[in-house]
A and B are shown apart, each in its own frame.
Chain A
Amino acid sequence: MKSKANQPPAKSDLDAEALKCLPGVEDFLRAIGVKSNDSSFSALYQRVADFTKSGKDFSEHAPKRWEDPLIETLVRPNDSILDLGCGEGDLLARLSYQHDVVVQGVDRDGDAVIRCIERGMPVCHEDLERFLDALPDQCYTYAVLEQTLQTLHAPLKTLRQMLRVARWCVVSFPNFAHWSVRLAFSLGGRMPVTSSLPYAWHDTPNIHLCSITDFIDWTEEDNINIVKAWALVEGKVLDYVVGGENDYNITADQALFVIERKDFPYPN
């Protein structure tokens, strides 16, 4: 058994196109100097084999989005996940290659959509705010909105639609009440530019920024239950207890909420 496991898999098991679709592989290939259009399979394969023998795995090279591993902990087999604003499909690939789930992406950027298609990720080229209206009630387990809430024209309408279309809604956003933002504005007198809000005032896509407290206020007004929450504090992911001792509204860069409707009006 052991000797067999050490042998490289047959060529048919692992070809260059399949490799490209694993999370992080492309970054890995770039790191070891293979161009993405390199067609020499055996050279490519040898490099990958050497790399895997060294005990590392590709996921280290995957783009770091702190929410993605947390969302992975949520999903269970046979769940279905709708990723709104999926970009190039990093989360979709991660979920569909490592978990037994159904994924579907939506994005309005044509080039990102083509990249999703190349990876084999199902994606709709649509404006998500319009597209949600066409979907029926409760056809997904999770609707995910990563770092996109603040760019929407009608964020609350979209959140309500997400809670109609999916059982749970996963939403992350930059916290506009972080101390660095407060300092930049109150002492610096300028629009804040931070690691979570890297844009200048004139080129930002963010039109509806909010703080963690604002978001929690909305959930109370709209009769929404916070199932789970995390905060990103100085690069560390911390469990967020709403109403707990720590005031994450001043220390957290970003927050991730899993929410559901309290009055769940749909038959199970």
Chain B
Amino acid sequence: MEKTTFSSKTFHSAVPQGSFGDISGGSQRRKEYDSPDSLHSVGWTYPKRIRLVTPDNPLPLDYGTPFAPIDVEYEMLGELASDRNNVILITHALSGDAHVAGWDATASPTWRPWRLDRPGWWDTVVGPGKPIDTNRFCVLCVNILGSCYGTTGPASINPATGRPYGQNFPLVTVGDTVRLQARLLDHLGIKQLYAVCGGSLGGLQAFEWAVAYPERVVKCIILAAGPRLSAQGLGFNVVGRHAILSDANFNNGDYYDQATKPDDGLAAARMLAHITYLSGQGMEDKFGRRRTTRQIGRNGSANGTGEQFEVESYLQYQGQSFVARFDANSYLYITHMLDNYDGTQWGNGSLQAACARIKAEVMVVSFSTDWLYPPECCREFVVALMRNRIPVTYMQVESNYGHDAFLVEAKTVGRMLRAFLLSPTLARRQFLRGGQCK
């Protein structure tokens, strides 16, 4: 990859026109990104990977025996302050990775090639002068446990057998992931997080952080996430997993040596999931019943005229590009992680009791057309905190983008994030009042 070719301040994605590779709108098929030399980009980034958990000090898991070894991949952007109190932990969602912003300097046509075309997944919000300002804060993003982007997961080699874990990987939870992140902070010498911020599965992690480590979180931002997934959300994930498990190539998770992997199952799971990330109205606006003549899918068209519905080619593109970058076993494990999470666990079934542990200032943001975590679901956090007389900030964003809105509505969300991150902390307000800190 010739890195000096990026000379203009913005340049176009390498995703071919008409492939609907971006999620920002139907008519806009090209997307402008901040180039690595832009003043608003964090520039080239270098993922770090360390062996964090060794067999002599294994990580306790919610289900099953303590687990080791564990490698962790993370990225750190911006300067760590001398007192290490300016850290914002960004927790990523189901298919995300530690590459939150900027351009991966290690990507190549053979290693994570999808990163050549686009910056990190939250580049619109994270960077110098952006709402999560890397001039001011040190941004840390950690790949979750069970993923296939550097942190140990089912595709990693089991040292006991010399082969990938596959379905022998232990069942992991949001709690385990947060415990692992806390170990990383210990390793980096960071006692307290200025903020923890995430959307969807990342929002569950943010909440878990505030409840599990109340003393270590100053501000907690939960986007498009509620205390638990509804039956409808569980149902979607069941169908997605069913598609993978019933793929002839799945071979009970032991497919890593095979020439053909359970790609059709994984693509089907992703296509279904992608529908749940949009809203009915959003899809209507973006695709309607328009047709395209371009052949994107392997399957061609159903009617033999070379035509597809735009929504068809879009979903096929989403499925195929996902297969190229994701592992089917990881998908199973991480959707289980999402399904199993229940925010009431810390309160023995009572969300109010769980929230009583929280010492952070919390902001919850919901999106009006979100299917997975609709506003009423996100509001459960708000009401539970208010029942404890814990001050809470809640915003409901009107958006047609469904669950994806937490990424797509970058301007609106960014405005809230900036305001909340820069507002005086509770401790600062008490200091200004001259009162005693509680």
Contact = CB atoms under 8 A, between A and B. Distances in A.
Query: Does B bind A?
Result: yes
B interface SS class = helix
A4 B332 CA distance: 64
Nearest to A20: B424
A134 B396 CA distance: 15
B381 to A, nearest CB: 11
A252 B232 CA distance: 56
A107 to B, nearest CB: 11
Interface residues of B, number: 29
Given A96-B429, A113-B395, A120 B416 contact: no
B420 A117 contact: yes
Contacts of B383: 134-136
Given A96-B429, A97-B429, A98-B433, A139 B389 contact: yes
A110 B365 CA distance: 12
A125 interface: yes
Interface in A111-168: 113-114, 116-120, 122-126, 134-136, 139-140
Given A114-B415, A124-B394, A80 B423 contact: no
Nearest to A139: B387
A18 interface: yes
Contacts of A18: 424, 428, 432
Interface in B367-426: 379, 382-383, 386-387, 389, 391-396, 415-416, 419-420, 422-426
A168 to B, nearest CB: 16
Contacts of B393: 116-117, 122-124
Contacts of A255: none
B425 A104 contact: no
Nearest to B366: A125
Q: How large is the interface on A (under 10, 10 to 19, 20 to 34, 35 or more residues)?
A: 20 to 34
Contact of B382 (A119, A124, A139): A124
A96 to B, nearest CB: 6
A134 B389 contact: no
B431 to A, nearest CB: 8
Contacts of A99: 433
A60 interface: no
Given A17-B422, A18-B432, A21-B424, A117 B387 contact: no
Interface string A1-38: 00000000000010001100110000000000000000
B132 to A, nearest CB: 15
Given A21-B423, A21-B424, A120 B429 contact: yes
Nearest to B383: A134
A125 B396 contact: yes
B435 interface: yes
A100 interface: yes
A110 B419 CA distance: 13
A135 B431 CA distance: 30
A136 B396 contact: no
Contacts of A124: 382, 392-394
B361 interface: yes
B180 interface: no
A134 B392 CA distance: 15
Contact of A104 (B392, B416, B426, B432): B392
Contact of B389 (A110, A125, A140): A140
B223 to A, nearest CB: 14
B432 A114 contact: no
Nearest to A93: B429
**A22, A119, A123, A124 interface centre (most CB from chain B within 10 Å):** A124
A121 to B, nearest CB: 8
A103 interface: yes
A120 B425 contact: yes
A102 interface: yes
B42 interface: no
A102 B429 CA distance: 12
A161 B431 CA distance: 35
B169 to A, nearest CB: 40
A64 B396 CA distance: 30
Most buried by B among A102, A103, A120, A124: A120
Contacts of A13: 431
A255 B391 CA distance: 29
A212 to B, nearest CB: 32
A125 B395 contact: yes
Contact of A118 (B391, B419, B429): B419
B363 to A, nearest CB: 7
A135 B433 contact: no
Contact of B423 (A104, A119, A134, A140): A119
A100 B423 contact: no
Contacts of A119: 423-424
B226 to A, nearest CB: 14
Q: Taking each of B389, B395, B416, B423, which has the highest tally of chain A beta carbons within 10 Å of its own beta carbon? A: B423
Contact of B422 (A98, A116, A118): A118
Nearest to A97: B433
- Listed from nearest, the 7 A-B pairs whose CB atoms lie closest are A122-B391, A120-B423, A117-B419, A124-B394, A120-B424, A118-B419, A125-B395
27 contacts: A17-B424, A18-B432, A21-B423, A96-B429, A96-B433, A97-B429, A97-B432, A98-B433, A99-B433, A104-B386, A110-B395, A113-B395, A114-B419, A116-B393, A117-B363, A117-B416, A117-B423, A120-B424, A120-B425, A120-B429, A122-B361, A124-B382, A125-B394, A125-B396, A126-B394, A135-B386, A140-B389
Interface of B: 361, 363, 379, 382-383, 386-387, 389, 391-396, 415-416, 419-420, 422-426, 428-429, 431-433, 435
Given A117-B393, A124-B394, A139-B386, 10 more contacts: A97-B432, A98-B433, A104-B386, A104-B391, A113-B395, A119-B423, A122-B392, A124-B392, A125-B396, A140-B389
